[in-house]
Structure 1
Amino acid sequence: MKDILNRVANSPIVTIDLEEFYRSEERVVFDLKEFLYEELVLREKDFRAALKELDWNKFKNKLVAVHCSADAIIPNWAFMLVGTYLTNLHIEYIIGDLQTLEYYLFEKSLSLIDPLVYVGKPVVIKGCSKQPIPLFAYGRILSIVQPYAKSVMYGEPCSTVPLFKASK
Structure 2
Amino acid sequence: MAEDFQIKNKVADSGLINFDIASLVPKGQRIGVDLSSFLFEGIILKEKDFRDKVAALDPEQFRDAYVYIYNSAEAIVPLWAYFLITARITEAARKVVYGSREDLEVLLMHNAIQTYDFSELMHKRVLVKGCSEVQIPENAYIELVEQLKPLVKSLMFGEACSNVPIFKN
The question of a shared fold, defined as TM-score above 0.5 by the shorter chain, is answered with: yes
Give percent identity, aligned residues only: 35
Q: Measure how far apart 1:18 and its partner are.
A: 1.1
Q: Distance in 2 between matches of 1:91 and 1:33?
A: 23
Unaligned ranges ≥5, structure 1? none
Choose which of 48, 51, 54 in structure 2 pairs with 1:51. Answer: 54
Q: Measure how far apart 1:135 and its partner are.
A: 0.9
Deviations 1:8-53 (Å, cap 9, x if unpaired)?
1122212210111123322121010101123222122211111111
1:3 aligned partner: 6
The range that moved more, 117-126 or 128-137, is: 117-126
Choose which of 87, 93, 106 in structure 1 pairs with 2:109. Answer: 106
Q: Distance in 2 between matches of 1:42 and 1:122?
A: 56
- Runs of 4 or more, structure 1, over 3 Å off, are none
**For residue 54 of structure 1, what is the amino acid of its counterpart?**
L
**For residue 158 of structure 2, what is the amino acid of its counterpart?**
G
- Gap change, CA 1:47 and 1:143, over 3 Å in 2: same
Q: Pairwise CA RMSD of aligned residues?
A: 1.6
Q: Secondary structure at the match of 2:141?
A: helix
Bigger-Rg structure (1/2) = 2
Contact 1:153 1:162 in 2 (8 A): yes
Count of matched residue positions in the alignment of Structure 1 and Structure 2: 166
Choose which of 11, 33, 38 in structure 2 pairs with 1:35. Answer: 38
Q: Measure how far apart 1:85 and its partner are.
A: 1.3
1:71 aligned partner: 74
Q: Measure how far apart 1:90 and its partner are.
A: 4.2
Q: Distance in 1 between matches of 2:160 and 2:149?
A: 17
1:61 aligned partner: 64
Choose which of 126, 151, 156 in structure 1 pairs with 2:154. Answer: 151
Q: Secondary structure at the match of 1:9?
A: helix
Q: Secondary structure at the match of 1:111?
A: helix
1:89 aligned partner: 92
Choose which of 7, 16, 21 in structure 2 pairs with 1:18. Answer: 21
Q: Distance in 2 between matches of 1:66 and 1:90?
A: 12
- Gap change, CA 1:36 and 1:52, over 3 Å in 2: same
Contact 2:67 2:93 in 1 (8 A): no
Unaligned ranges ≥5, structure 2? none
Q: Distance in 2 between matches of 1:162 and 1:105?
A: 27
Contact 2:64 2:92 in 1 (8 A): no
The range that moved more, 93-102 or 20-29, is: 20-29
Q: Distance in 2 between matches of 1:108 and 1:165?
A: 26
